[in-house]
Amino acid sequence: MDFTQFVNFFIGLLVISNPLSALPAVLRITRNQTFEEKRRTGLVSAVAVGVILLVTTWIGRPLLMILGIQLPSFQVAGGLVLLMMAFSMLSAQASPIKQTSEEEKEKRPSGETGAIVPLAIPIIAGPGAISTIIVEMNQFPGFWTQIFVSISALLVALVMGVLLYFASNLERVIGHSGINIINRLGGLILAAIAIQTMGTGLIGMFPALALK
């Protein structure tokens, strides 16, 4: 993985994690918390996202090998997940892949802030982000790829931490319409990533598709 690939992967992972889509969830989950508690929830969630993505980076590929799942099959499945998320973003709706309506309504235990579940996982570090990391690690295996992917994961967590820490301020500045516009632009990028991932997987499963 060279520097250009690293930048492209970081941007893709950030788009897939979709930090702005997490803002409404943060505001909803923390509506009964004090200002300091809201910021603490955002920071805890960001740390949890970093841990989840790092764990996926280092054990995701061996897990696929243990389960006997081939990379092309995972690419097609991961591409489908990303495409469904992209359609939700293009329509400015919350993706049911990240959190279903039943999960959203589910009451949390007393004292549970929601920072880890459902905010960190599955809203931010959901199936899309996890599958993207696993696909990348299988396409470019090696120690340095793990280092670059780990750095990307930490940078995504850092961006998430900043955005979630200032969630209330950003919501007032950008507004609901602004968030929807950015979500739609991100959805278009994500759809392109999804189709490319699925195409690579299909060619891996059916090499004849690559023949002219």
Question: What are the tens digits of pLDDT across the range 10-38?
Answer: 988 988 887 766 676 676 677 777 878 88
Give the span between the Cα atoms of 76 and 203, in whole angstroms: 10
Contact 96, 24 (CB under 8 A): no
Q: Look at the block and give the residue holding tokens 């979500």.
A: 183
Residue 176 has pLDDT above 90, yes or no: no
Give pTM, 2 decimals: 0.72
Residue 67 has pLDDT above 60, yes or no: yes
How many Cβ atoms sit within 10 Å of the Cβ of residue 49?
A: 31
**Mean pLDDT on 47-58:** 93
Whole domain around residue 70: which residue ranges? 3-210
From 194, 190, 191, select the one nearest 16 (Cα to Cα).
Answer: 190
Condensed to tens digits (0 to 9), the pLDDT of residues 77-107 reads 878 887 887 787 787 665 555 555 555 555 4
Give the span between the Cα atoms of 103 and 177, in whole angstroms: 25
Contact 20, 179 (CB under 8 A): yes
Task: Count how many domains the chain has.
Answer: 1
Residue 111 has pLDDT above 50, yes or no: no
pLDDT above 90 covers a percentage of the chain that reads 15
Q: What pLDDT, on a 0 to 100 scale, did the predictor assign at position 158?
A: 93
